[in-house]
Amino acid sequence: MKWAMWLFWLFLAAYVAAMALFLIGTFGFLGQEPDPLSGVFLLPLGLPWNVLADRAGMGGAAVMLAAPLINLAIVFAIWRRFR
């Protein structure tokens, strides 16, 4: 299951990049203007958990940052299970 290892590392890299863009855009780090759409790259990484949390009334920045970690944990479990 070499593909699961690659998927895990690719997903982790995409998550770190999206999280960095979110933090830079939200708080205006590195001289950037605060941008309300800075978390748009975290949305597809956290699906379907973002949608479920939103429908349950638990929306917000913390959910956007934590939802991709659930998918990352699932990919990690698949990688370790079929190694």
Contacts of 81 (CB under 8 A, 6+ apart): none
pLDDT of residue 55: 94
Instruction: Measure the CA–CA gap between 3 and 30, rounded to whole angstroms.
Output: 36
15: number of Cβ within 10 Å = 19
pLDDT of residue 68: 96
What's the distance, Cα to Cα, between the start and end of the chain in Å? 6
Instruction: Measure the CA–CA gap between 7 and 45, rounded to whole angstroms.
Output: 13
The domain ranges of the chain are: 2-81
pLDDT of residue 70: 96
Residue by residue, pLDDT tens for the chain (83 residues) are 799 999 999 999 999 999 999 999 988 888 889 888 888 999 999 999 999 999 999 988 888 899 999 999 999 999 999 88
pLDDT of residue 49: 95
Q: How far is CA 19 from the centre of its chain?
A: 7
The structure's pTM equals 0.89
